[in-house]
């Protein structure tokens, strides 16, 4: 409980250190698996849009629906996006029992 509170207080940085699985692109993250964004293919307008919408490094994320048109949950809301765009976001899955920041 204390650990949970502490993790929440320090936010994403600490969670980032608890990476325990292989990195995958967001479109390949299984639904329901919590993960943290570790990188967004930078360089253009779309990447900038993704970041403004909350898909930037350190953000906790999980997918609600996978497929060609997928739904991901980030920064407290759902985002609908194409798999092609999601492919540019790299995430690191977290253990199921890790607290969601």
Partner 1 sequence: MSASHPLPVLDRPTPTPPTDGGAACVALVGNPNAGKTTLFNRLTGLNAKTANFPGTTLECRLGHARVDGLALTLLDLPGLYGLTTGHLEEQLAADALVGRVPKLPHPDAAVVVVDATALDRHLYLASQVRELGVPTLIALNMADLARKQGIEIDLPALSAEFGCPVVAVSARTGEGIETLAHELQTLLNAEAHPPAPESITACTECDGCPHTARHRWAGEVSRRTSKTTRRSIRRATDAFDRFAVQPVFGVLLFAVIMAGLFVAIFWAASYPMDLIEAGVAQLGNAAGAVLPEGDVRSFVVDGVIAGVGSVIVFLPQICILFFGLTLLEDTGYLARAALVMDRLMVKVGLPGKAFVPMLSAHACAIPAIMSTRVIDSTRDRLLTILILPLLTCSARLPVYAMVTALLFADQPIIGGLVFFGAYALGILAALSVAFVFKRTILPGKPKPLIIELPDYRAPSLRTALLTTYDRGLVFLKQAGTIILLISVVLWVLATYPKLPEDQLAAVASPADAALVASLEAQDTDAAREELGLLHARYAVAHSFAGRLGRLVEPVFAPLGFDWQINIGVLSSFAAREVVVATLAIVYGLGEDAAEDTPTLTQTLAQQTRPDGTPVFNLATSLSLLVFFVLAMQCLPTQAVARRETGSWKWPLLQLGYMTALAYLAALATYQVTSLFMA
Question: Quick one: 46 exposed, middle or buried, by C-beta within 10 A (0-12, 13-18, 19+)?
Answer: middle
Q: Which CB atom, from 28 or from 49, has the smaller least distance to partner 1?
A: 49
Q: In the bound complex, what is the minimum distance in angstroms from residue 30's beta carbon to partner 1?
A: 14
The nearer residue to partner 1, 24 or 41, going by C-beta atoms, is 41
- The torsion region of residue 85 among left (phi > 0), alpha (psi -120 to 50) and beta comes to alpha
Q: How far is the CB of 4 from partner 1 (least distance, A)?
A: 12
State the sign of the Cα–Cα–Cα–Cα dihedral 48, 52, 75, 4: positive
The residues of the shown chain that bind partner 1, judged by CB under 8 A, are 8, 11-12, 42-54, 56-59, 64-65, 67-69, 71, 75-82, 84-85, 101
């Amino acid at each position: 409980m204390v650990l949970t509170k502490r993790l929440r207080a320090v936010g994403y940085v600490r969670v980032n250190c608890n990476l325990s699985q292989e990195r995958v692109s967001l479109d390949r993250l299984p639904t329901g698996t919590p993960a943290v964004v570790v990188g967004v293919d930078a360089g253009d307008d779309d990447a900038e849009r993704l970041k403004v919408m909350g898909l930037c490094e350190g953000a906790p994320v999980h997918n609600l629906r996978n497929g060609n048109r997928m739904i991901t949950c980030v920064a407290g809301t759902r985002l609908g996006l194409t798999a092609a765009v999601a492919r540019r976001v790299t995430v690191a899955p977290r253990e199921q029992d890790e607290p969601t920041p």
